[in-house]
């Protein structure tokens, strides 16, 4: 596994994942900016993504949908904040409504990607910044993660056949 | 992002309070009336009732009429969905990075005949 570390930071409302890849930053960059490449990894195999619009330039937007096993569609969108080929990009990622337009009522995540050359390959740092406290801050900082997971464990025990 | 049945903002806000977390844990174990619950906390019946209402709006508990009383019961599906949210996010990115790696490996095989 090339994932080096994952770090949730409740105070900063971020989740950071660092990975080391064997190819140079220019190759990794293409996976982000070329929609046909992006489609091959963005959605899980059971929910493949189709990008109908992808404008990797500051202020540029993307539209995509992921198709589920029953043919159901989950729409999403990106809005590019900044790009610096081939070392960094930043975009907002959010839910779309049934027509694929940004759903203002749903939470957005700002994703920052840093690509650094490292020993002939790339060290990729992806930081997701959650827009609302409710999404993450409260979850971890207030100890809910532990509190709730133990509640779930207790429940699992209670639901197990006696 | 894949939409969920659960409204995460509402659920997290509801669970940010320790009393409400405690109530959920209790009624998951055993449904209880608001008055039974209220007896367990150093606060008024009305305050406990208010907490229950917040949990109800977040679909963490439901109320069921039994005789003259209403029993509050925990909604395990909502609790499970919440417990998985962060884990899911990490899994989501691990999956994506794994697929990126495969694509890059495919490329380098093409480059080296």
The domain segmentation of chain A, as residue ranges, is 3-131, 134-162
Please report which confidence band the pLDDT of residue B3 belongs to, taking 50, 70 and 90 as the band edges.
very low
Judge whether residue B79 has pLDDT over 80.
no
**Low pLDDT (below 70) residues in chain A:** 1, 8-12, 105-107, 133-162
CB A64 within 8 A of CB A76: yes
Residues of B in contact with A132 (CB under 8 A): 9
Superfamily of domain A3-131: START domain (3.30.530.20)
- Cα(A49)–Cα(A65) distance, integer angstroms: 6
Element (H, E) at A118: strand A108-118
Model pLDDT, residue B42? 92
Judge whether residue B12 has pLDDT over 90.
no
CATH of domain B8-111: 1.10.10.10
Q: Model pTM greater than 0.90?
A: no
CB–CB contact B29 A28 (8 Å)? no
CB B60 within 8 A of CB A147: no
- Cα(A138)–Cα(A145) distance, integer angstroms: 9
Q: What is the CA radius of gyration of chain B?
A: 22
Tokens at residue B106, please?
């495919």
ipTM of the complex: 0.76
Tokens at residue B51, please?
């907490």
Residues of A in contact with B89 (CB under 8 A): 15, 128
CB–CB contact A27 B104 (8 Å)? yes
Chain B contacts in chain A segment 3-42 (CB below 8 A):
3, 6, 8, 15, 17, 19, 21-23, 27-28, 31, 37, 40-42
CB–CB contact B24 A151 (8 Å)? yes
pLDDT in tens, B13-64: 787 677 888 898 889 888 999 999 999 999 999 999 999 999 999 899 999 9
Note the residue count of chain B: 113
Q: How far is Cα of residue A108 from the mean position of the Cα atoms in its chain?
A: 10
Residue-averaged pLDDT of chain B: 82
Q: Which residue has the higher pLDDT, A143 or B107?
A: B107
Measured between alpha carbons, how far is residue B78 from residues A81, A133, A142, B44, B50 in Å? 34, 19, 19, 27, 19
- Cα(A34)–Cα(B69) distance, integer angstroms: 61
Residues of A in contact with B79 (CB under 8 A): 148, 151-152, 155
């Amino acid at each position: 596994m090339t994932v080096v570390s994952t770090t949730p930071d409740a105070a900063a409302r971020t989740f950071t994942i660092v990975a080391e890849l064997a190819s140079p930053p220019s190759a990794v960059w293409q996976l982000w900016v070329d929609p046909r490449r992006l489609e091959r990894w963005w959605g899980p195999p059971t929910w493949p993504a189709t990008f109908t619009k992808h404008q990797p330039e500051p202020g540029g937007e993307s539209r995509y949908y992921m198709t589920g096993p029953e043919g159901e569609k989950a729409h999403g969108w990106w809005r590019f904040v900044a790009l610096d080929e081939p070392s960094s990009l930043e975009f907002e990622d959010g839910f779309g409504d049934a027509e694929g337009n940004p759903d203002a009522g749903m939470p957005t995540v700002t994703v920052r990607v840093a690509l650094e050359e490292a020993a002939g390959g790339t060290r990729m740092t992806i930081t997701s910044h959650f827009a609302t406290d409710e999404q993450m801050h409260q979850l971890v900082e207030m100890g809910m993660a532990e509190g709730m997971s133990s509640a779930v464990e207790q429940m699992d025990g209670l639901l197990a056949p006696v | 992002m894949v939409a969920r049945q659960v409204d995460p903002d509402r659920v997290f806000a509801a669970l940010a309070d320790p009393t409400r977390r405690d109530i959920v844990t209790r009624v998951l174990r055993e449904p209880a009336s608001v008055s039974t619950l209220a007896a367990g906390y150093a606060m008024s019946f009305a305050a406990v009732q208010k907490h229950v209402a917040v949990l109800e709006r977040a679909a963490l508990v439901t109320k069921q009429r039994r005789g003259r009383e209403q029993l509050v019961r925990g909604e395990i599906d909502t609790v499970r969905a919440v417990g998985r949210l962060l884990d899911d996010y990490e899994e989501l990115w691990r999956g994506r990075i794994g697929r990126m790696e495969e694509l890059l490996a495919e490329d380098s095989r093409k480059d080296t005949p």
